[in-house]
Amino acid sequence: MHRRPCETTARLKVQNSRGSLSLCPAPRCRSVPAPRCRSVPAPRYSLCPGELYPVELVALVSCEALPLELRRLYALVTYLFLRGGELKALTWPDVDIERGIISVRRSFDRTTGRIKQTKTGNKGMRRFAVEPELLPLLCAMHDEANGQGPVVDMRQQKWWAADLRKHLELAGITREALFDTDDTRKRLRFHDLRGTGLTWMASRGDDPLMIQQRAGHRTFEMTQKYIRTAEAVGEVIGATFPPLPDCLTTAAVAIHQDRSQRGAP
């Protein structure tokens, strides 16, 4: 029985083992789809975070042209290494004045306007000792508030960074790196006060894991950013965590004297 050659399939003449020629279908050529080119995202360059030098922070919190509550706010966020939302949610029951220990458990959610559990730490909480130079201010503020309510009152977050830069200028701090943004750096934000304290810890030679714990970083990679900054600036920034000026606690002394005169508790 003879097979009719397929009209749609080409046949090739090949020689079999007996020496005769036979026809066999040619292999079909399947079209190979061209590989799809995945879009490659542009590299993300992390701009160098800004930080204050110790002498600049002292000048800022000493400037009596600024309201006392704002100067205290800047000192607290730098020496406690807190995120803005964490400081806004901090209450006096979270501060153990007698032992000098602070517990960070909650954070303010600016989207919902509610208090939520902080996103980092041991099951949403981290505890650490307060810097010795900050403790007198915390004690004074604790006495003023009778240990009740929020530690500080903070306005809407969208104004924090602009207010900070304006207050730096009022305090006579005009270092160009704090106000300009270019391809390698960005101007100072309120969040960078927290980064200032973390950079100071690294400059002081604190254990990197302790820095990570106090910062509440989930990964050590986040902590390394501040360690690298500290290595870059070295000791030229001066002694870290300097004593805070007495003017920050003056109001507390006056309030205490007034209460004593009136026999108030």
- What is d(CA 220, CA 223) in angstroms, rounded to the nearest whole number? 5
Q: How many domains does the chain have?
A: 1
94, 107 Cβ separation under 8 angstroms: no
What are the pLDDT tens digits along the chain (265 aa)? 555 544 444 444 444 445 444 445 555 545 555 444 444 343 333 445 578 999 999 999 999 999 999 999 999 999 999 999 999 999 999 999 999 999 999 998 888 888 888 877 566 689 999 999 999 999 999 999 999 999 999 877 778 999 999 999 999 999 998 998 888 778 999 999 999 999 999 999 999 999 999 999 989 999 999 999 898 887 778 899 999 999 999 865 554 554 455 555 5
Does residue 44 lie in a domain region?
no
Structure tokens, 230: 């500290």
Does residue 49 lie in a domain region?
no
- pLDDT number for residue 202: 95
- pLDDT number for residue 121: 58
Does residue 263 lie in a domain region?
no
Residue given tokens 């990570």 in the structure block: 212
List, in order, residues 6 or more apart from 88 with CB less than 8 Å away.
Answer: 107, 108, 150, 152, 154
Does residue 257 lie in a domain region?
no
pLDDT digits (tens, 9 = 90+) for 186-237: 899 999 999 999 999 999 999 999 999 999 998 999 999 999 989 888 777 8
- pLDDT number for residue 130: 97
- Nearest alpha-carbon partner for 240 in 203, 210, 206, 265: 203
Does residue 114 lie in a domain region?
yes
CATH code assigned at 193:
1.10.443.10
Range of the domain at 132: 54-250
Does residue 110 lie in a domain region?
yes
Does residue 127 lie in a domain region?
yes
Does residue 22 lie in a domain region?
no
- What is d(CA 209, CA 61) in angstroms, rounded to the nearest whole number? 29
- What is d(CA 152, CA 89) in angstroms, rounded to the nearest whole number? 9
- pLDDT number for residue 10: 43
- pLDDT number for residue 183: 81
